[in-house]
Amino acid sequence: MPTDPLRARTYHHPNLGAGRVVVIPTTQAREPATDHEMATLGFTPPPPATRHEPRTGGGVVAAAGVAPLVRRGGVRAAVVAERAEVIARGLDVAEVPVFWEQVAGHCLDAGWPQRAGAMFLRARRAEEEHGLVVAEDVRRAAYLRFALAGALPAKAVAGYAAGLAERHAPARAYAELLELVAGYTGGGLPPWPALPRQVRAMAKAAGLDPVEAERRAFALLLRAPATRHASAAFWKANRARLVRLAKRFSEPRHALLHLFPDADMDEWWLALLDETGALTDLAGAEAAGWLTRMAAHLERGRRTGRTPPLLLALVTRLEPGEEPVRPAGSLRSGIIDADLLDACLAAGFPVADPAPGHTIDLGRWLEHRQRDLAAIGADPRHARLLSAAVGAFAARHGVGALLDVAALRPLVRDWVAAEAGEIARGGLADAREAVQRLSSGLPPGAAGMAAMPEGVREAIEGADVAVTLTRTLRAGILDELGWDDLDAAADELGPDAEITPSWPVLTVYDRHRAVAVGPAGRIAEHDLRLPATAESFTVVYSAGEFLVVWDDHRTARGYWTAGPARTPPGPVPRVGGALRPRSGYGFAFLDASGARVTGRRALRPGEPRLADTPRLLCDGVTYWCQPEAWRPELRELDPATGELGRASLPGFLERAPLPAGRAWAVEACTLAPLPEGVRRTPLGTDGTLVGFRVSRRTGDGANGHTEGRYVIEGVDGRRAEPRGRAGAVPWGLIELPHAGRHGMGVLAGDTLVWLVDQTGEAAHWQVAAGTGDRWVPPAARLAARGTPIVPPPAFWHFLSPRDPDASARLRTVSEAAVRALLDAATADLAADPARTELPRAAHLIEKLATHPRLRAGLTGFTRQAADLHLRLTALAAGDSHPMCG
């Protein structure tokens, strides 16, 4: 809806004195009422405007033709300008300024102040080019209107202001300038560098006191919010004037103290405040509040420059009060200025407790390093932040640069002790990560170890990997479980085998052959017919047949296998470009007809199509999907048509009302009907369904954050409250053989799956699920060394114990037995670090397990532990030892 644009109306009052006016923004329709209201207060309204009037209203009418283009939005400025140029060329000379000003008004109404300013200047240029006479009141009103809207560049306003002295008597020119300044800064635009000089010159020409005029002008400017956005050139050009005024008058001194300009000139600004004497006015509570605001100001735009030395010196001169300083300044940044914090603590200022999420960045501090941080280290509340900062810095850069900082050396020792403690407290995966952090964080060689604080070597030597390995073996390893039919198919196809889920069927394939495996065994096989040029390919099982697709470097092509749906090779559209279609945890269901839900719709034989499948849940009757991964909402889905229905929840979730402050972690919830013939699953079943409902604290999943506290419950009632790990949301509770309900482990992560304890504090292992051996990280490969290909999480329901007696022995394995096993493996690796088998440890592993795949798994875990032990020994001695991956 078009709106009546704002106009600037100026009013005079006899008590204001010469040259002072009041500017009121109003609309054309409101002008009579505004004039009447101001008149009752004794103000005199402006006289009626007169200007050159064109013979017709052609300029206004022509501008109306541009208005729809302006209001449309999304139209480039160049397009609007080009259209306006064409129209302007066909107008009478007298109509051109009116046209451009009307177009400028339309741009203002559409919220395009910069475009409006450009069109306004075209109008003024047309008046100059054609020598058109303009009534001064009209000219002033036009400038004030666009200045008040923040549409005019400083150069244009400065030029108009400079011409006031040429067009008016000195007194009026001065009054007009003040009026213009009020409208311009009121419109949100900062003053131009020459403005104070112009004010002083016009005041002097009008016979006024130039000092008083300058004081009034700066009082107006320093109160205007727009002035803090003034350029550095403005401040530097007027430094002498500001110092002179601020030393004489308290008002500008106080205004400068609380201005905090945007320009990158912090040290210059503090020197100005010091020279004016403004800093001596700070005391008590005002000093604390000012320091807090200055800390926030220094963080603007994530600025990373040094803390001004003058500010740090000022802190020692100020008198602390009871009001606390908040040196983090901006909650948005969350980074505490370490130098400023240290200076405030050393000077005795009360400092607010650090808020959650606040950090100290030692990397930034080291760039300038102005203080020794001793005061922070002596303050228990902030020493915790300093300790965390040491760990964060060590992870990125190592601790070498911190060793010559006296306040940080004890924290380096504490960091090493904490990492060694992580090895003692956690599982083998925790130990591996701790050793990796130590390896990258400690300076290399004997000289590096010699430079470390006292106690570091002893902390590393005291880390006992045998205790950690014992804890993990008692918790259980993946190779205790297996799926014989899948293992056999994977062995036949070799290490390059890949898999595609069609739950409850899993397709295993390589370049030559595909095998579909279900809970009851093999379902279908096919010999692939791939061209020699096909490098990437996939095989999808649906409705009893295979869709084979490959990439020929130009487009995807593929065919359906034997039967009525057999097709010759042809193009295959890919939604999202995925050649290997993804699905949440592997739940790409086969519907009641046996067709795989691909995308949101069942894939029928003969239909060439590939697409990622959204996260799906099914109770055997109804399907639910999460249409957008970023939105935690489930919608009912008809896989026959792909149409979405109403938003709802499966009964398994709906029957569990959430307490206040918790929300469903939809991306981690699973639900599926128990396949025919399956009676037991290590993940639990109620006899009809399998799956888990997962909830988190409200807000813990925001911005990818996954480390909050979760509640996870299975359909059979199993329950845990683990802490999530970075990037890994818990999705299942697994009962490894002879572990019992109290020994269940938490499974977290989709492609890289962690096993952690029920609290989420100790991580035992990580395996790569749903991918071939060539994509598996070395540590994850060792953690599933006996399993040729780890299925996606959805298919872990089909795993069963391989060697129940061996699992029973592992649940109660003694630390002494594990230590003997570790000693033997360490001797094997010390003799040959590259060896994959452990001949000295093999006979001890054979006593623990009989199944060859479980023996292979135990060998992998023992090798990991032996590698960690050797690495710790080398770190303590200042030697090097390569990690196994």
- pLDDT (tens digit per residue) in 494-535: 988 999 999 999 999 999 999 999 999 999 999 999 988 888
94 pLDDT band, cuts 50/70/90, is confident
- pLDDT of 646 reads 96
- pLDDT of 83 reads 78
- pLDDT of 703 reads 43
Check if the beta carbon of residue 120 is closer than 8 Å to that of residue 103: no
Pick from 259-263, 649-653, 766-770 the range whose average pLDDT is largest. Answer: 649-653
Q: How many alpha carbons fall within 13 Å on the CB side of residue 644?
A: 14
The mean per-residue pLDDT over the stretch 73-86 comes to 73
pLDDT tens figures, 470-492 = 999 999 999 999 999 999 999 99
- pLDDT of 56 reads 42
The mean per-residue pLDDT over the stretch 708-723 comes to 91
| Percent of the chain's residues with pLDDT above 90 | 50
- pLDDT of 499 reads 94
- pLDDT of 21 reads 65
Contacts of 80 (CB under 8 A, 6+ apart): 66, 69, 70, 103, 107, 115
Least trusted range by pLDDT, from 50-64, 521-535, 622-636, 676-690: 50-64
Bridge partners (DSSP) listed for residue 615: 626
Name the pairing type of β-strands 574-575 and 570-571: unpaired
Least trusted range by pLDDT, from 92-96, 194-198, 784-788, 792-796: 92-96
Q: DSSP state, 541? A: E
Backbone angles phi, psi at 651, to 5 degrees: -55, -30
Query: What single string gives the DSSP state of each residue in 196-207?
Result: HHHHHHHHHHTT
pLDDT tens figures, 53-76 = 443 455 555 666 667 766 666 667
- pLDDT of 522 reads 96
| Largest Cα–Cα separation, the chain | 110
Reply yes or no on whether the pLDDT at 885 is more than 50.
Answer: no
The mean per-residue pLDDT over the stretch 270-281 comes to 90
- pLDDT of 118 reads 81
- pLDDT of 54 reads 42
- pLDDT of 458 reads 93
pLDDT tens figures, 806-821 = 999 999 999 999 999 9
Q: Which two tokens stand for residue 832?
A: 């040959």
- pLDDT of 447 reads 86
735 pLDDT band, cuts 50/70/90, is very high
The mean per-residue pLDDT over the stretch 374-381 comes to 94
Least trusted range by pLDDT, from 694-703, 731-740, 756-765, 794-803: 694-703
429 pLDDT band, cuts 50/70/90, is very high
- pLDDT of 158 reads 75
Reply yes or no on whether the pLDDT at 5 is more than 70.
Answer: no
- pLDDT of 161 reads 75
- pLDDT of 847 reads 94
Check if the beta carbon of residue 507 is closer than 8 Å to that of residue 579: no
Bridge partners (DSSP) listed for residue 481: 801
The rounded mean pLDDT for the chain is 85
Least trusted range by pLDDT, from 80-89, 195-204, 600-609, 701-710: 701-710
Helix (H) or strand (E) run with residue 293 in it: helix 284-298
Pick from 20-34, 177-191, 350-364 the range whose average pLDDT is largest. Answer: 350-364
Reply yes or no on whether the pLDDT at 6 is more than 60.
Answer: no
| Predicted TM-score (pTM) of this structure | 0.74
Least trusted range by pLDDT, from 129-143, 597-611, 756-770: 129-143
Give, in order, the Cα–Cα distances in Å from 6 to each of 186, 187, 371.
Answer: 13, 11, 54
What is the spatial distance between Cα 329 and Cα 848, in angstroms, rounded to a whole number?
Answer: 60
The mean per-residue pLDDT over the stretch 787-806 comes to 96
- pLDDT of 405 reads 93
Check if the beta carbon of residue 821 is closer than 8 Å to that of residue 859: no
The mean per-residue pLDDT over the stretch 638-651 comes to 96
- pLDDT of 176 reads 79
Check if the beta carbon of residue 300 is closer than 8 Å to that of residue 264: no
- pLDDT of 58 reads 54
Which parts of 354-450 are beta strand (E)?
Answer: 359-360
pLDDT tens figures, 823-850 = 999 999 998 888 888 999 999 999 999 9
pLDDT tens figures, 12-35 = 777 776 556 676 767 666 677 677
